[in-house]
């Protein structure tokens, strides 16, 4: 099995990486979804932007402009950290910054098929037994 490659730094890293699934919708109704893999160092960059977005209720985490929701875009993320649980996050950016953030979401990413019209999705997957849990 080949080593995974980080979406941001484009480097191959041994071991598990964080998987982030991004989803957003344009005003036209067009939906986009991407999957990125991050090593621990590069994940810090995304994590800091998400934390900034959650700190300021009406602040763009990139330019710090007030009220990004007025004409901005919401990027929804589902994060899976190695050995951790699923975490759902949202990054709200202003209209001027949405293309900049969209480029970051698309960098080294795999575009996922549009699931619109496919329903609400199936049941959540059953957790798999962790063969390493007895060693921790």
- Backbone dihedral angles phi then psi of residue 63, each to the nearest 5 degrees: -105, -10
Q: Which is it for the CA torsion 9, 14, 17, 22, positive or negative? A: positive
Question: Do the domain assignments include residue 35?
Answer: yes
Q: Evaluate whether residue 91 is within a structural domain.
A: yes
72 or 33: which carries more pLDDT confidence?
A: 33
Cα–Cα distances (Å) from 112 to 34, 69, 109, in that order, read 5, 25, 9
Residue 57 resides in a domain: yes
Whole-prediction pTM value? Answer: 0.74
Give the domain range for residue 90: 18-113
Query: Does residue 118 belong to any structural domain of this protein?
Result: no
CA–CA separation, 134 vs 115, rounded Å?
38
Question: How many structural domains compose the chain?
Answer: 1
Q: Distance from first CA to last CA of the chain, Å, rounded?
A: 24
CA atoms of 42 and 46, how far apart (whole Å):
7
Residue 23 maps to a domain? yes
73 forms beta bridges with 93
- Indicate whether 128 belongs to any domain: no
pLDDT in tens, 76-115: 999 999 988 888 888 888 888 888 889 988 999 999 987 6
> Could you tell me if residue 4 is inside a domain?
no
Q: Assign 135 a pLDDT band (cuts: 50, 70, 90).
A: very low
Is residue 130 situated within a structural domain? no
């Amino acid at each position: 099995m080949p080593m995974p490659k980080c979406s941001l730094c484009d480097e191959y890293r041994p071991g598990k990486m964080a998987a982030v699934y991004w989803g957003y919708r344009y005003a036209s109704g067009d939906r986009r979804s991407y999957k990125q893999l991050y090593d621990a160092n590069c994940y810090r960059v995304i994590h800091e932007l998400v934390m900034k977005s959650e700190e300021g209720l009406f602040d763009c985490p990139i330019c710090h402009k007030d009220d990004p929701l007025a004409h901005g875009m919401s990027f929804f993320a589902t994060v899976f950290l190695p050995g951790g649980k699923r975490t759902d996050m949202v990054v709200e950016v202003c209209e001027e910054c949405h293309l900049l953030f969209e480029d970051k979401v698309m960098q080294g990413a795999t575009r996922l098929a549009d699931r619109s019209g496919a329903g609400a999705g199936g049941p959540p997957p059953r957790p798999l037994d962790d063969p390493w849990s007895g060693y921790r």
